[in-house]
């Protein structure tokens, strides 16, 4: 495979598909540069005195890590001045962040989880940044939260950076999924995957099994059949992985297949699960579908969900198409 840069890829995509105008290319390159900065900060760990709690909570009521806030600021500062954005939204901020008046307003909306998997920061397990790009509604002058409430099918780009043994940026702009590995000596993103494809079948599943007694019947049935292995209806043994970093679990699935589940459960009956629709489930679902996989909330395609709130949660079943269709089918049989 040609080892091309992110910039060359974006310019060639524009020539081929007319899908990445200059302002969207600038947006993606600015976000990728912020991810390089985040990778450096994450990589320093305690040496940068950035580990540990920030003694504050985010809108989700979750304790924020120092790095959550630092990385959120990196993304805000990197994207404010370019003239490509109208506003931003983040897991770490209750309200949207309009572009300051001193800068020109652009045509895109950027949503992100600046550092997903925070519980893994202090124990040196892979974490990541997830981002989603929408177009601002025509004629919008002053961005409001409602301008962000667009179904996942309206995304023009989505991606994540995973900070693990390698730092890898995974991106889709609607024409397949590409991956770029950070060449730390050159400081550049180099294409290492030209078209990600999730295998249709898999023998690997990901779920937090400690919640088993709280799962609703369709998930109990699906996971129970997997656990029965050769002796059960599936007739084969499987393996389970749970990193508790969505970026790491999704990256494994993009690389070798699998099914990722964060279902609703009886612990909080009024909540449809833990993960957030706008800046976790939607971007990951866009990537997974572009790689030939599937993503539902147990009942419907995640990308079709019409959002009602910026920080709303959603149940997530995504990955190898045959498995997602099976577990979704069990929900529909209910």
Q: Per CB under 6 A, does 36 bind ligand P6P?
A: no
Angle at the Cα of 298 (from 293 to 300), degrees rounded to 5? 75
Instruction: Specify the stretch interacting with ligand P6P by CB under 6 A; choose among 110-118, 147-155, 228-236, 323-331.
Output: 110-118
Write the DSSP symbol of residue 101: T
Other C-beta atoms lying within 10 Å of the C-beta of residue 81? 14
Number of residues that bind ligand P6P (CB under 6 A): 11
Q: Per CB under 6 A, does 273 bind ligand P6P?
A: no
Phi first, then psi, for residue 277 (nearest 5°) are -70, -50
Q: H-type helices in the chain, by residue range?
A: 6-17, 22-44, 66-80, 145-148, 217-228, 246-256, 282-290, 321-333
By CB under 6 A, name the one of 155, 245, 290, 320 that touches ligand P6P.
Answer: 245
Q: Per CB under 6 A, does 289 bind ligand P6P?
A: no
Torsion of CA 144, 149, 152, 153, to 10 degrees: -90
Instruction: Specify the stretch interacting with ligand P6P by CB under 6 A; choose among 18-26, 149-157, 172-180, 242-250.
Output: 242-250
Site string for ligand P6P, 116-155 (x = CB under 6 A): xxxx------------------------------------
* Residue 248 beta carbon to ligand P6P: minimum distance, rounded to whole angstroms: 8
Q: Per CB under 6 A, does 53 bind ligand P6P?
A: no
Instruction: Select 65 or 84, whichever has its Cβ closest to ligand P6P.
Output: 65
By CB under 6 A, name the one of 25, 251, 252, 274 that touches ligand P6P.
Answer: 274
* Residue 239 host element (H or E): strand 239-240
Q: Per CB under 6 A, does 244 bind ligand P6P?
A: yes
Instruction: Select 22 or 209, whichever has its Cβ closest to ligand P6P.
Output: 209
Instruction: Select 27 or 169, whichever has its Cβ closest to ligand P6P.
Output: 169
* Residue 224 beta carbon to ligand P6P: minimum distance, rounded to whole angstroms: 20
**In whole angstroms, what is the distance from residue 293 CA to residue 273 CA?**
21
The answer to whether residues 286 and 175 touch, using CB atoms and an 8 Å cutoff, is no
* Residue 53 beta carbon to ligand P6P: minimum distance, rounded to whole angstroms: 14
Q: Measured between alpha carbons, how far is residue 219 from residues 1, 170, 223, 229, 253 in Å?
A: 40, 29, 6, 16, 19
Instruction: Specify the stretch interacting with ligand P6P by CB under 6 A; choose among 10-18, 114-122, 134-142, 163-171.
Output: 114-122
Q: Which residue is nearest to ligand P6P (CB)?
A: 246
Write the DSSP symbol of residue 46: G
Beta-carbon contacts of 132 under 8 Å, excluding residues fewer than 6 positions away, are 110, 111, 112, 152, 155, 157, 158, 278, 279, 282, 283, 286
Q: Please name which of 329, 226, 283 lies closest in space to residue 112, comparing C-alpha atoms.
A: 283
Q: Per CB under 6 A, does 92 bind ligand P6P?
A: no
* Residue 157 beta carbon to ligand P6P: minimum distance, rounded to whole angstroms: 21
* Residue 245 beta carbon to ligand P6P: minimum distance, rounded to whole angstroms: 5
By CB under 6 A, name the one of 95, 146, 195, 208 that touches ligand P6P.
Answer: 208
Instruction: Specify the stretch interacting with ligand P6P by CB under 6 A; choose among 74-82, 103-111, 115-123, 215-223.
Output: 115-123
Would strands 97-98 and 108-116 be described as parallel, antiparallel, or unpaired?
unpaired
Would strands 157-163 and 127-135 be described as parallel, antiparallel, or unpaired?
antiparallel
Residues in the site for ligand P6P, rule: CB under 6 A? 116-119, 208, 244-246, 262, 274-275
């Amino acid at each position: 495979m040609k080892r091309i840069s992110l910039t060359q890829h974006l310019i060639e995509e524009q020539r081929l598909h007319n899908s990445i105008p200059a302002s969207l290319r600038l947006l993606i390159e600015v976000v990728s540069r912020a991810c390089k900065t985040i990778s450096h900060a994450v990589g320093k760990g305690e040496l940068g005195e950035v580990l540990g709690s920030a003694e504050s909570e985010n809108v989700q009521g979750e304790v924020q890590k120092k790095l959550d806030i630092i990385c959120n600021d990196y993304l805000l500062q990197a994207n404010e001045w370019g003239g490509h954005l109208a506003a931003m939204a983040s897991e770490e901020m209750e309200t949207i962040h309009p572009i300051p008046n001193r800068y020109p307003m652009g045509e895109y909306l950027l949503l992100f989880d600046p550092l997903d998997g925070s519980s893994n920061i202090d124990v040196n397990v892979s974490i990541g940044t997830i981002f989603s790009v929408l177009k601002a509604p025509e004629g919008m002058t002053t961005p409001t939260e409602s301008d962000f409430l667009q179904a996942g099918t309206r995304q023009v780009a989505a991606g994540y950076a995973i900070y693990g043994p390698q730092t890898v940026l995974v991106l889709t702009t609607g024409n397949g999924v590409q991956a770029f590995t950070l060449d730390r000596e050159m400081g550049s993103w180099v294409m290492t995957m030209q078209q990600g494809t999730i295998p249709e079948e898999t023998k690997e599943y990901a779920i937090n099994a400690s919640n088993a007694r709280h799962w609703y019947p369709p998930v109990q049935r699906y996971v129970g059949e997997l656990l029965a292995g050769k002796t059960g209806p599936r007739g084969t043994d499987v393996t389970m992985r749970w990193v508790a970093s969505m970026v790491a679990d999704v990256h494994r699935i993009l690389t070798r297949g699998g099914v990722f589940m964060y279902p609703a459960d009886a612990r909080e009956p009024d909540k449809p699960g833990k993960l957030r629709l706008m800046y976790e489930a939607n971007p990951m679902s866009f990537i997974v579908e572009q790689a030939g996989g599937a993503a539902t909330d147990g009942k419907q395609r995640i990308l079709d969900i019409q959002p009602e709130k910026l920080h709303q949660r959603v149940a997530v079943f995504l990955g190898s198409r045959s498995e997602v269709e099976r577990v979704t089918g069990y929900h529909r049989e209910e």
